Structure 1
C-alpha cells in the first residue's frame, strides 16, 4: 500500500484501497446502495421536522413577547 500524504484526499485517478470503506458524503452517489439512500432520505425528513419545529417554537416565543409587551 502507498502512503497517503494528501490529508485524506486521493490523487485523481488513484484507485481506492481494497477493503476500505467509503466515507458517507453529502450528495447521493450514483453507486449508493438502497440502504444509504434510505438513510439519507430519513435524515432529510428528520432535519425538515426539526427545522419546522424550531421555527414553530420561535414563533410562539415571539407571540409571548408581543402579548407581554402590550399595555
Structure 2
C-alpha cells in the first residue's frame, strides 16, 4: 500500500497573503475568472435602501429646484441691467 502526500510544496505557490490578487493561470481566460458583477450588486443595494419612487422624486426636485434657481438668477441679472 502506497501513501501519497497531499500537502503543497514549500514554495510560494501554496501560500496566499490576505491582500493577494489572484491572476488566472496561463491557460485560463480573464473572463472566466470568478468576479462578482459590481454594478448589479450596487444597484440592488441602492434599491433596497431607497425605493424607486423616492429616487425619482429626488431627481425631479433637484432638477426643478435648479431650474427655479436659474430663473431667479436670470431675473436678478436682467433686472440689474435695466437700472
**TM-score after normalising by structure 2:** 0.43
Higher RCO (CA < 8 A, seq sep 6+): 1
- Bigger Rg, which one: 2
Name the structure with the higher helix share.
Answer: 2
